[in-house]
């Protein structure tokens, strides 16, 4: 594969001086698992987790996605141990609006007190005085976007931004209507939703955000806890001398210039494979075949 210094080019968040390489890293998989509790407790190998983060940054990644409810607190503490003092160009994006139950459940936490506490938890565990970007995650439906007003929690984040604790605000797990409502309250720099080669509900939404210069960050770009599986994807990957996951990531990078990727892994081997996807150029005729794999779903 081709070698390049920039990971698939870069994107500047609207109204910001932050220039993010489009291939980033998601820290969720750095947390462990306790039985049926996903993203819970420390990883089996903390030193490997630290090595993954350090190699990612050394390889050119300057965008790390996290949340203090991963673990909880685990991923942020590992990020701090691995990377602090942080490089000047590193952008750490976190998210708020959830807490974890003792059974590992994901519980909405939208009140003023809860949001304020979450911002301070992120600051403390990351070892920062100000958070670069905080995504407010909608929790009207935990696993997919659902309509509901975001005004009250966004107002809280806007106040914390005015106090200098947050530089920029984004949204996660949201609908176009919620983004429109949010932009009347505070500037929105990014949207983070479930999207990948086969989960395509946001096709039109991505294009609308691109016209407004807003970044779109797909979570579960490789299928999440159930990896993407497609015989056609595997055949295409074989023909191009790549892995299916590399093709899935490269497809996203070519899908739209405002897409920023945050694939996660707890393995340096898989990290290297993911980063190599930034150098893949998929031929137009192959792109057409890939586009046909995931039929657009119902749009919100």
Residue 298 φ then ψ, to 5°: -60, 130
| Measured distance CA(92)–CA(239) in Å, rounded | 36
Average pLDDT along the chain = 93
To which residue do tokens 């905080």 refer? Answer: 134
**pLDDT the model gives residue 85:** 98
299 pLDDT higher than 60: no
3 pLDDT higher than 50: no
CA dihedral of residues 247, 230, 215, 264 (deg, nearest 10): -80
DSSP letter string, 257-299:
TTB-B--B-S-HHHHHHHHHGGG----HHHHHHHHHHS-----
3-state secondary structure of 212: coil
9 pLDDT higher than 50: yes
Note the pLDDT tens digit of each residue in 161-187. 999 999 999 999 999 999 999 999 999
195 among known catalytic residues? no
**pLDDT the model gives residue 43:** 96
pTM (2 d.p.) = 0.94
Distance of CA 215 to the CA centre of its chain: 11
Split at pLDDT 50, 70, 90, the class of 223 is confident
Split at pLDDT 50, 70, 90, the class of 300 is very low
Describe the strand order of the beta sheet including 188-194 as a list of residue ranges: 25-26, 63-65, 91-96, 131-137, 166-172, 188-194, 215-219
To which residue do tokens 């490089």 refer? Answer: 87
**Which pairs with CB-CB distance under 8 Å and at least 24 residues apart come from 79-86?**
79/27, 79/30, 79/53, 79/126, 80/125, 80/126, 80/127, 81/50, 82/49, 82/50, 82/51, 82/53, 82/54, 83/53, 83/54, 83/57, 84/126, 84/127, 86/128
Sign of the dihedral defined by the CA atoms of residues 201, 282, 229, 242, in that order: negative
Q: CA dist 192 to 58, 83, 87, 95, 262, Å?
A: 25, 24, 24, 10, 10
Note the pLDDT tens digit of each residue in 121-161. 999 999 999 999 999 999 999 889 999 999 999 999 999 99
Of the listed 25, 70, 195, 216, which one is catalytic?
70
Mean pLDDT for the stretch of residues 200-210:
97
Task: Please name each of the domains of the chain with its CATH number.
Answer: 17-228+255-265 (3.20.20.100)
| Measured distance CA(136)–CA(150) in Å, rounded | 9
């Amino acid at each position: 594969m081709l070698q390049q210094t920039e990971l698939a080019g870069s994107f500047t968040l609207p109204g910001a001086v932050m220039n993010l390489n489009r291939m980033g890293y998601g820290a969720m998989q750095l947390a462990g698992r306790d039985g049926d509790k996903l993203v819970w407790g420390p990883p089996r190998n903390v030193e490997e987790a630290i090595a993954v983060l350090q190699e990612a940054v050394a390889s050119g990644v300057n965008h790390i996605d996290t949340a203090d409810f991963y673990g909880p607190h685990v991923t942020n503490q590992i990020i701090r141990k691995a990377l602090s003092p942080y490089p000047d160009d590193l952008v750490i994006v976190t998210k708020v609006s959830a807490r974890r139950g003792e059974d590992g459940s994901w519980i909405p936490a939208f009140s003023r007190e809860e949001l304020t506490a979450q911002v301070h938890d992120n600051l403390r565990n990351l070892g920062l005085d100000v958070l670069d970007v905080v995504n407010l995650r909608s929790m009207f439906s935990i696993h997919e976007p659902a309509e509901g007003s975001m005004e009250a929690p966004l107002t809280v984040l806007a106040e914390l931004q005015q106090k200098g604790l947050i530089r920029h605000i984004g949204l996660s797990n949201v609908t176009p209507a919620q983004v429109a409502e949010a932009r009347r309250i505070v500037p929105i720099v990014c949207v983070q939703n479930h999207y990948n080669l086969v989960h395509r509900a946001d096709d039109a939404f991505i294009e609308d955000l691109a016209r407004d210069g807003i970044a779109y960050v797909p979570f579960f770009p490789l299928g999440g806890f159930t990896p993407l599986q497609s015989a056609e994807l595997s055949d295409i990957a074989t023909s191009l001398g790549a892995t299916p996951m590399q093709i899935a990531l490269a497809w996203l990078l070519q899908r739209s210039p405002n897409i920023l990727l945050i694939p996660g892994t707890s393995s340096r081997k898989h990290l290297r494979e993911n980063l190599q996807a930034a150098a893949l150029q998929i031929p137009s005729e192959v792109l057409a075949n890939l586009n046909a794999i995931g039929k657009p779903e119902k749009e919100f």
